[in-house]
Chains A and B, each alone.
Chain A
Amino acid sequence: MPKLTIDGHEVEVAAGTNLIEAARAAGVAIPYFCYHPYLTVVGQCRICMVEIAGQPRLALGCATPAADGMVVKVESSERAREAREAVMEFLLANHPLDCPVCDQAGECLLQDHSMREQAATFATHMLETRRTFPGYERRLIGPHVVQNQNRCIHCSRCIRFTREISGTAALTYKSRGNSTFIDTFDGSAFDDPMSACAADVCPVGALTVREVRFRKRAWKLRSTPSVCPGCSIGCNVFIDHHERVVYRFTPRENPAINATWLCDHGRFLAESLNEQAYLDPQHRSGGLAVRVGWGEALAGIAAEIRSAGALRVVASANLSNEELFLARELFGRHFKGEIAVPVAPGEPRKMRNGRGEWLHATDPHPNSTGARRLGLAVVDGEGLSRFLYGGAGLTLILDAGAHPFLASPEALQLLRVGTTIVWARREHPAAHAATWLLPTPSLAGNEGTFTSSTGAVQRFAEAFAAPGSVHRTATGAMSPTCPTIASPWGPPGEARPLWVVLTALARALGVAALDLASPADVFAAMVRKDKAFAGLTWETLGGRQPHESFRERQHVG
């Protein structure tokens, strides 16, 4: 364990740690553009120059491993500061400085560094015409990525990403010297299953994501730690939102699962979180759906459950561990109902973790592992069909999106036979067969834990309560052509997370043990009851734990 001094701070780091990471541990920020902890070190940008006592030349913070007794000067070295200022001058000499119209502004490493370190009196003698790449200023290089080569600082992070992480080697340098530019290898579309990550790792606005650019300024977005609902791998994400509208997912660092990456499939689920077709509980009698309050709905549902002859519950692998636990305890244990968790077949997905290994999944649900661990019966489409044929009585569908079979005419006929209670967020045919229809919010309005396919129990936090319906066009909630762009969201609705409804039902049904106040309490009860969760504590599961915003923004923003 080498022990070194950085700007007067003594710090001990693991052997092999480079000076950038060692300085971070010591609370000193060494600026960088081309360095990325999950990509190879190339030392191209030259902004991380530091002075090491006893060495005549300046050293690179990214490529120099910490050594015992090393005395490193970052801010306190005039020589290193001068060199860094010169590198900034070189980089800015040919940079368009179009921050006011650049969508990266606010999360741009070049801008951040310029604001933080460059003297206000900084002046350059640059009189020459700035380098431009005519025809490369606004180029859609793939389905999701827009390139502006004029802004590129040639850090090669995107190239290294496609070579080392996604493995497609789609991007490359073309030409040489000052006219070097980034392009796809053979000029074809940048069609990479993780293409938007290339825009993530871009420290400047040279690569931006088509679906997100110009929708919201980066500094207006609030980030809530969450877990991607796209498949069972369980990549860690931030939900970036503003005024109850979700704008994007950005990867959140987790070396064991997704390092700092996110696949395009998961990333672009973000927009679907804004769909909120149902805003109030509804009661249907005689074919007529009537909006009702939660008080009336809970009392009515409690009465249905008490009087039900047979109780069948279709749970979902999209529900959190807490919700599945509550459903099992309340409906399975106290009311002797049958519970099935349908799992649909899905596309193969893969993700590379921090050790460079691929994680694979074909399960499209975020929490089927959790359902199995809670001992719930996991069924496929055929099993679900048999389950619904099992007899009339009361059927509870805790998530209408649990399985595509629920939207089939066959399933709807079966649901119309008895009394059906449906929880739904997005427009769903089963809603028309429901006696009671209860609105649930998206992942952004819920709180809980998912168990990933690797067995990691991961928390997701609530981004905002009371989601409203979002004015949408056919292409999505935040389309630039949206006519109501000034106010994309409507009045807050009455959607409540399932765990809230289940605990309230428990109270209404007199099951005091399950009348819990928060997902944390539910989790604690689950830890006591279930061996699979024994030993875990809510606070240590990630999610809202304090994180270094500097590090995260540097790598994924």
Chain B
Amino acid sequence: MEPVLLRARGVADSRSLAAYLAAGGYEGWKKALGMGPDAVTKEVLDSELRGRGGAGFPTGRKWSFVPKDHPGPRYLVCNADESEPGTFKDREIIEYDPHQVVEGVAIAAFAIKANTAYIYIRGEFVRWARILEDAIAEARQRGFLGKNVMGSGFDLDIWVHRGAGAYICGEETALLESIEGKRGFPRLKPPFPAVVGVFGQPTVINNVETLACVPHIIVRGAAWFAAIGRPKNTGPKLFCVSGHVNRPGVYELPLGVTFREIIEEHAGGIRGGRKLKAFFPGGSSAPVLTADEVDTGADFDACAAAGTMLGSGGVIVFDDTVDMVEVADNVAHFYAHESCGQCTPCREGSDWCMDILDRLVAGHGQAADPDTLLRICRFSSAGMTICPLGDAFALPISSIVNKYRAEFEHRIASATPLPQKKQPVLPWAGPRPGFGI
């Protein structure tokens, strides 16, 4: 397909406003201002655009949840806290086409009548935060942002807010807390952000890629967008292919292509002529798929039917040299480190999983370990936690245990007993910690 979101990749000086305007930039913003907020929302609703951040919630419906009669301010937040392992699509968009994001933010803010928008970008993205700030300054200078945009009477300010390095702040309510200057703890829902969001006001949070689609929908129409992909899974999608492939990278493909096509055709197949063993279809928090499931369609509904999720589109590919126990251990390490520590199952469960998997990898597995892992995962997911981070570690680990149990059994069969811990000799002669009273 013709590139849409990545059309600027390869164009000289593509970040500049001039290049963006030459490619037909800000036409959608001008058109949207003429259409009015409700018509814009209607157009996005008709396009069947679904959120690209991971959950795949219809974007137009999310916008329509903002109370119509709310007297105070509303906010639009663009989630650029791209922290999911194996995901690097938003960075690509910002790198080559930051104005596309700015225009998308502007149109979305107009649709929900928000005069202030935040772009929350992960702290490590220093370069891309600067790119966005430069783009916003350029757009403001041209009158695309600021007071009374292009004589429409609509005011809009966009602020770039840098995170401080926590994965959890990509979760929408933790992100709102972080913007408010608080610790990144996800909030209990309901109330949902569309009703009580940042600073207690209605707030819509959309992913960078979602918002980048919006100008194209406005310019070319909902029907054009809906024609790409499959019914209810429309539009182009960026797939971030990483791992044991010949050509890792970001590929823009219509939703609904198979993972086989992504891995074999676009990413050039498995490195060194080896065989595919498994892959994460949408970042490390999606349940793993085996080589037999490679013909699954890469869209929201097909993935859900296969018991996994499209997530952020971060396809992490493993060849047959990979030990899946170590994959699980790697995943557990990440989530144990990133658990916010707020609610019990995730705080205790993620760490416990990590300890068990560390022990397994160290060669001291026990017969009960796979079942213990499954039990921990079962009670850390499906509504047991405030935010989806519980599911994010529980689902991939339990899927690995279920699908590659033989590898666990094999390790356990050759395991050595856990070495006895050294007991301190009493009375304790070492330094006394703390003040002691």
Chain A interfacial positions (CB closer than 8 Å to B): 41-47, 49, 57-58, 60, 63, 82-83, 86-87, 90-91, 93-94, 125-129, 131, 134-140, 146, 153-154, 156, 172-173, 175-180, 210
Contacts and interface: CB of A to CB of B under 8 A. Distances in A.
B347 A136 contact: no
Contacts of B435: 138-140
A527 B140 CA distance: 76
Interface in B367-390: 368-369, 371-372, 375, 378-379, 382-386
A177 B340 contact: yes
Nearest to A65: B190
A137 B434 contact: yes
Contact of B372 (A47, A82, A125): A125
Contact of A136 (B188, B418, B434): B434
Given A138-B434, A178-B350, A46 B355 contact: no
Interface string B397-424: 0000000000000000000001001000
Contacts of B339: 176-178
B343 A45 contact: yes
A139 B434 contact: yes
Given A57-B383, A177-B339, A178-B347, A128 B433 contact: no
Interface in B315-347: 336-345, 347
Contacts of B436: 138
A47 B349 CA distance: 15
A175 B355 CA distance: 19
A486 to B, nearest CB: 23
Given A86-B375, A135-B433, A176-B339, A127 B344 contact: no
Contacts of B433: 134-135, 137
A309 B303 CA distance: 102
Given A127-B418, A177-B339, A46 B434 contact: no
A179 B340 CA distance: 10
Contacts, number: 118
A317 B421 CA distance: 64
A49 B383 CA distance: 10
A178 B336 contact: yes
Interface residues of B, number: 42
A153 B379 CA distance: 17
B297 to A, nearest CB: 26
Given A43-B343, A134-B433, A177-B340, 19 more contacts: A42-B188, A44-B343, A44-B344, A46-B343, A47-B344, A49-B384, A57-B382, A57-B383, A86-B384, A90-B379, A138-B436, A140-B437, A154-B341, A154-B344, A173-B341, A175-B341, A177-B347, A179-B341, A180-B347
B101 interface: no
B213 interface: no
Contacts of B338: 176-177
B31 interface: no
A139 to B, nearest CB: 5
Contacts of A91: 344, 348
A153 B418 CA distance: 28
A381 B434 CA distance: 48
A178 B351 contact: yes
Interface string B267-288: 0000000000000000000000
16 contacts: A43-B386, A49-B384, A60-B188, A90-B344, A90-B379, A127-B418, A128-B352, A128-B355, A129-B355, A136-B434, A139-B435, A175-B341, A176-B340, A176-B341, A177-B347, A177-B351
Contact of A176 (B166, B355, B378): B166
Contacts of B342: 42, 44, 154, 156
Nearest to B335: A177
A136 B436 CA distance: 9
B130 interface: no
B384 A58 contact: yes
Nearest to B390: A46
B42 interface: no
A210 B343 contact: no
B183 interface: yes
A58 B183 CA distance: 27
Interface string B179-210: 00001000010000000000000000000000
Contacts of A82: 379
B344 A87 contact: yes
Contacts of B351: 131, 177-178
Candidate in A90, A127, A139 with the most chain B CB atoms within 10 angstroms: A90
Contacts of A45: 343-344
Which 6 residue pairs of A and B lie closest in terms of their CB atoms, listed nearest first?
A180-B341, A57-B383, A86-B379, A178-B351, A90-B348, A128-B355
A208 to B, nearest CB: 11
B87 interface: no
Nearest to B347: A178
Given A90-B345, A90-B379, A177 B337 contact: yes
Contacts of A146: 437
Contacts of A153: 344
Nearest to A91: B344
A136 B434 CA distance: 6
Nearest to B389: A177
A46 B386 CA distance: 9
B347 A154 contact: yes
B47 to A, nearest CB: 30
Contacts of B183: 172-173
Nearest to A213: B437
Nearest to B375: A86
Contacts of A176: 166, 337-341
B188 A43 contact: yes
Interface in B226-243: none
